[in-house]
Structure 1
Amino acid sequence: MRPVPDLSWDHDAHYRPVLLRALPPRCDRVLEVGCGAGDLAVLLAERAARVDAVDRSPEMVALARARVPATVRVVEADVLALELPAGGYDAVVGVSSLHHLPLEEALRCLGAAVRPGGVLAMVALPRRDLPRELPVEAVAAVLHRAVGVERLLRRSPRPERTPGMPVREPELTVREVRRRARAVLPGVRVRRLLFWRYALVWHRPG
């Protein structure tokens, strides 16, 4: 029996450009929350003079430290337990980490670490909001498979999934995140992304 082709692909990797586009034109210092194996930190190092990459998983920290350049400092910690410098970062970013944290506390903490004129930009997982989001869910399911087929035809390797990466089911829908985030960070924008993610972007006035 022939094996069934794996048509899955990495949605986190797919949405890294959303965060890279949100960065200010000139970045001296960037904080990444939940750096995992360091994939995004490597890209951030091409845009910023210094990157602080934080993750609370010892396994992920070890993987990240083995691959990031010297301008990236990888810290094993819960980001909410750190004494982040007030206004110390041009950008604070993260992929699939925000839904692991208590939302309001995380937004207050991370927002305070953004310098005036800087940006907080996160891509995270929402809880499904059915039946309201059923049309989006249906389109996403079809296109997800179509992209997998296209990658298969091009014989493109799918991004590797890192064993041992912490997983947590999201508790909040996009509507709930938007409502609660606006109470903490006036002017924040929260939008649903097609492939089971949302983007939260806040520009600190300055």
Structure 2
Amino acid sequence: MKTYITLLIITISISLQAQKIDLKKIHNVEAKIGLPEYPIDKTTLPEIISAFGNNYEQVPNRNFINGKVKEGFNFPIFLEIKYKTMGVSIYYFAQDSSQTIKAIKFSKPFKVKTKTNIILGKSTLGDVLKLYDNKKNIIHISKNKNKVPARASINQHKVAFTGIAFASELINHTNERFPYKDGELESQIVDEIYISNIDYLNMKFSQ
């Protein structure tokens, strides 16, 4: 047991030494860029690992691109590297030898503030809507199975244009019960910020 504890302490120590990101401060992020010091479309996966450390996992990513791959379309698989304890996910194409980061997602406990003053975990979807033309930016609701909470998002299908999307888990709302009162969706707290320039909807797939 003593040997196990010693090895665990050494492992944690190495992980902390490898981590260069300050988790205590608020990180400013920008649409189409992400973290200015590690911008998407320019930073590589090795550079991310050098900064964020080795405490990550590669998880199945169920997004539009991988959905097309599963349907038999010929297109590079989108991989997700998840720093679960930090609240950061990194995305890149598996067939890209340079492993250039194409997207980044932030959630709690990572502290994030956008250039437009949207604060992760504090600002609401209503705050986000004020930044855009409400007639063109509606709140999209994603239904989930097994009565788990649904999710509401803004700019989900326009991320290639806006470079940023926002989402909130609807804790008290399932597939059977969606918000119906005026302002109920707008009051939801932003718990996820996704930044990318990928034009998902206009991608060309071949079979």
Shorter-chain TM-score: which interval?
Answer: under 0.3
Higher relative contact order (CA 8 A, sep 6+): 1
TM-score, scaled to structure 1: 0.27
Q: Which has the higher helix share?
A: 1
